[in-house]
């Protein structure tokens, strides 16, 4: 076959393929774009949706021993991260640990223009170490947000609404004017903001309410009353801000002192004779007699009643008084490093309820089944008349109720008595890791022969104990306490007294109770010793690692110009400063780990 014929066949085959599979490439004039009469403005692209704009979303966590489940915390952080500038967040929590991602997210939201308002419990009812940990989170927020204005952080003296003894702000909610594409959003949880203990390491639940302005307005009104520490007649806040039903949602706020028990009344709303009805109660803390009586009476009236309680928060006597022959009881373990327990608080009713049949009712929130939760504490408990919410909680219930770790009967109930349950319900049962104490200070303008060491206490109010050690500069001597560099206390302020005609190196050590913190002054007679930062370790910045001696180089009697003097920076500021040190800026040098930290404020660390 000749080459000319072969190429002709190939061309014919290609033309056939093109005719079947694509547009013809036959010769012809090129296509011409249609003429445009006049330019039209470019439309702004529609942003991608960032989530639902209305409805209810339920979130649970299922931690295992030693491994927290951050599902609920991550849901909250996502809402915070999606809050746009000029929107507002109002949040109230019993416990927020200072290194929790939600706290970081709040500070970042404030930095991009979100109005962030936070009201926390004071922690005064906790043991000293737990109180200090709670105060540290508040101090970190207040340091950036302030205490008044469009953004702030605040702590109430025990309960915000009442002056009652043994009262707390036990809330666990956040309200968003906008987050993502949704407006009027409420996040209601049963857990605290901590990765361990009563937060991500215990079984908890949360519900996100989107696009519900009446409910959002109720929460914001309640939040404002918490911040303003509103006082109402007889401390009956439930009578002042009564429940408002919006679609399937009805939020109830506490304390309530009118001798009506909201939870007991809800249980008694079940009509056990009208149709088969099941009542299921997850009681993380249970000592309230009216609730017990209502559950027992419902069982006697024919309802199927189940109670899941906790080993350390229900007494054997109280448990037996439920009548386990009629009320089915199971007991979860007390919280330990090796055991996960319940911390959720909810009530499920399936059947006849409040005059209707085939009802699916869910109650959940911060409200424990204790007398304090009803009459003294700031609490929220929300009723949902929604099948999808009921289905989700029923699935959670079945998973935990059928867990082999839940012991049937009351034999495992181990609280001493109801008084002990009331007390534990208002405190954190597990330890809260101690966090750093903040010390706001700038370098002194001059190092004098008599130098006041200020401030005398940490920002959280802990007294600082000051000790000085020194040696002659340029010698191989060890730093030690001696008369030439002693510390005396005058008018409550520590003063360094220097007595030497020769150059000295001085180390000033300060410690606060429960923390470990050192700052030191390296004194040279001739020149400033510039020490520029190289890197900031994350642990050193947030106060987790053991930090060695901090040395500041400057000259006796010489002015030390501190252009960076300011309150303690946040972590992002510290990291940014470490990457771009200003020329000639004095700094702190730490050892033995080699971490660097800026001098703007020294931050104490615990081990």
Nearest Cα to Cα of residue 537 among 591, 589, 595: 595
Say if 55-240 and 252-425 have the same CATH topology: yes
Nearest Cα to Cα of residue 522 among 407, 599, 579: 599
Look at residue 603 and tell me whether its pLDDT is greater than 50: no
CA dist., res. 172 & res. 550, Å (int): 39
> If pLDDT is split at 50, 70 and 90, which confidence band does 521 have?
very low
Nearest Cα to Cα of residue 403 among 491, 492, 341, 315: 341
CA distances from 59 to 188, 282, 580 (A): 10, 16, 42
The reported pLDDT for the residue numbered 426 is 63
Q: In what order do the strands lie in the sheet with 493-498?
A: 450-453, 493-498, 485-490
The reported pLDDT for the residue numbered 379 is 97
Average pLDDT (386-397) is 98
Residues 252-425: name the CATH superfamily: Endonuclease Chain A (3.30.870.10)
Percentage helix, strand, coil, to 5, in the chain? 25, 30, 45
Average pLDDT (328-355) is 95
The reported pLDDT for the residue numbered 427 is 66
Residue 477 gets which letter from DSSP? Answer: P
3-class DSSP state for residue 607? coil
From first CA to last CA, the distance across the chain in angstroms is 91
CA dist., res. 578 & res. 72, Å (int): 33
Give Cα 170 distance to the centre of its chain: 13
Nearest Cα to Cα of residue 588 among 526, 518, 524: 518
What is the pLDDT of the chain when averaged over all its residues? 77
Q: Please, which residues have CB within 8 angstroms of residue 393's CB and are 6 or more apart in sequence? A: 58, 205, 346, 348, 362, 364
Look at residue 361 and tell me whether its pLDDT is greater than 90: yes
Average pLDDT (128-141) is 86
Radius of gyration of the chain (CA): 32
The reported pLDDT for the residue numbered 45 is 40
Please indicate, yes or no, whether the overall pTM of this predicted structure exceeds 0.75. Answer: no
pLDDT in tens, 68-101: 999 999 999 999 999 999 999 999 999 998 889 9
The reported pLDDT for the residue numbered 348 is 98
Residue 172 backbone phi and psi in degrees, to 5: -150, 70
Contact of 534 with 417, CB cutoff 8 Å: no
pLDDT in tens, 449-478: 788 887 777 765 667 888 888 888 888 888
The reported pLDDT for the residue numbered 163 is 85
The reported pLDDT for the residue numbered 249 is 98
Domain ranges, ordered by start, for the chain: 55-240, 252-425, 438-603
Most confident range (mean pLDDT) of 16-25, 193-202, 308-317 is: 308-317
pLDDT in tens, 248-279: 999 999 999 999 999 999 999 999 999 999 99
Q: Which CATH number is correct for 55-240, 3.40.50.150, 3.30.870.10, 3.20.20.70, 1.20.1260.10?
A: 3.30.870.10
The reported pLDDT for the residue numbered 338 is 83
> If pLDDT is split at 50, 70 and 90, which confidence band does 446 have?
low
pLDDT in tens, 80-89: 999 999 999 9
Task: Give the pair of three-digit tokens for residue 488.
Answer: 């005396």
Neighbours of 163 (CB within 10 A): 12
| Omega of the bond leading into 592 within 30 degrees of 0 (cis) | yes
Task: Give the pair of three-digit tokens for residue 323.
Answer: 């009548």
The residue that leads in pLDDT, 48 or 117, is: 117
Helix residue ranges, H only, 260-383: 262-268, 289-300, 316-320, 371-375
CA dist., res. 204 & res. 68, Å (int): 11
The reported pLDDT for the residue numbered 48 is 54
Nearest Cα to Cα of residue 382 among 426, 342, 341, 345: 345
Nearest Cα to Cα of residue 363 among 331, 343, 385, 395: 385
Please count the helices (runs of H) and the strands (runs of E) in the chain.
Answer: 14, 27
Contact of 153 with 145, CB cutoff 8 Å: yes
Average pLDDT (192-199) is 87
Average pLDDT (103-118) is 96
């Amino acid at each position: 076959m000749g080459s000319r014929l072969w190429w002709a066949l190939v061309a014919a085959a290609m033309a056939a393929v093109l005719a079947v599979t694509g547009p013809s490439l036959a010769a012809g004039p090129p296509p011409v774009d249609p003429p445009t009469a006049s330019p039209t403005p470019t439309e702004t692209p529609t942003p991608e949706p960032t989530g639902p704009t209305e409805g209810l979303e339920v979130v649970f966590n299922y931690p295992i021993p030693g491994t927290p489940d951050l599902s609920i915390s991550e849901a909250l952080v996502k809402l915070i991260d999606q809050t746009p500038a000029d929107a507002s967040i109002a949040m109230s929590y019993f416990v927020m640990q200072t290194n929790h991602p939600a706290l970081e997210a709040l500070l970042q939201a404030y930095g991009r223009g979100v109005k962030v308002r936070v009201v926390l419990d004071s922690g005064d009812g906790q043991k000293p170490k737990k109180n200090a940990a709670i105060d540290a989170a508040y101090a970190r927020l207040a340091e950036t947000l302030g205490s008044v204005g469009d953004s702030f952080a605040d702590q109430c003296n025990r309960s915000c609404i009442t002056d009652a003894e043994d009262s707390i702000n036990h809330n666990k909610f956040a309200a968003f004017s906008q987050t993502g594409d949704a407006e009027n959003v409420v996040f209601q949880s049963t857990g605290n903001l901590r990765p361990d203990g009563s937060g991500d390491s215990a079984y908890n639940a949360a519900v996100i309410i989107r696009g519900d302005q009446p409910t959002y307005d109720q929460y914001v009104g309640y939040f404002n009353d918490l911040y303003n520490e509103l006082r109402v007649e007889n401390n009956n806040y439930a009578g002042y801000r009564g429940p408002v039903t919006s679609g399937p949602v009805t939020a109830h706020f506490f304390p309530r002192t009118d001798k009506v028990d909201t939870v007991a009344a809800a249980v008694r709303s079940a009509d056990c004779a009208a149709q088969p009805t099941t009542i299921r109660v997850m009681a993380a803390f249970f000592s309230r007699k009216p609730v017990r009586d209502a559950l027992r009476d419902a069982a006697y009236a024919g309802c199927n009643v189940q109670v899941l309680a906790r080993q350390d928060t229900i007494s054997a006597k109280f448990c037996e008084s439920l009548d386990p022959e009629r009320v089915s009881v199971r007991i979860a373990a007390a919280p330990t490093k090796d055991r996960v327990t319940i911390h959720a608080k909810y009530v499920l009713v399936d059947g006849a309820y409040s005059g209707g049949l085939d009802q699916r009712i869910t109650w959940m929130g911060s409200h424990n089944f204790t007398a304090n939760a009803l009459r003294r504490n700031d609490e929220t408990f929300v009723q949902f008349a929604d099948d999808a919410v009921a289905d989700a909680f029923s699935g959670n219930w079945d998973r935990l109720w059928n867990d082999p770790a839940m012991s049937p009967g009351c034999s495992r109930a181990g609280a001493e008595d109801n008084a002990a349950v009331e007390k534990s319900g208002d405190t954190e049962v597990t330890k809260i890791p101690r966090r750093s104490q903040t010390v706001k200070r700038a370098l002194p303008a001059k190092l004098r022969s008599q130098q006041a060491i200020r401030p005398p206490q940490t920002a959280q109010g802990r007294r600082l104990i000051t000790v000085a050690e020194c040696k002659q500069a340029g010698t191989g001597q060890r730093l030690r306490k001696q008369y030439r560099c002693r510390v005396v206390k005058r008018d409550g302020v520590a003063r360094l007294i220097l007595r030497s005609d020769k150059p000295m190196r001085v180390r000033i050590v300060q410690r606060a109770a429960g923390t470990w913190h050192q700052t030191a002054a390296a004194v040279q007679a001739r020149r400033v010793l510039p020490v520029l930062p190289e890197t900031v370790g994350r642990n050193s910045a947030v106060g987790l690692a053991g930090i060695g001696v901090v040395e500041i180089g400057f000259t006796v009697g010489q002015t030390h110009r501190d252009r960076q003097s300011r309150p303690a920076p946040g972590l992002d500021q510290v990291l940014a400063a470490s990457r771009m040190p200003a020329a000639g800026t004095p700094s702190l040098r730490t050892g033995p780990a080699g971490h660097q930290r800026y001098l703007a404020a020294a931050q104490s660390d615990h081990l």
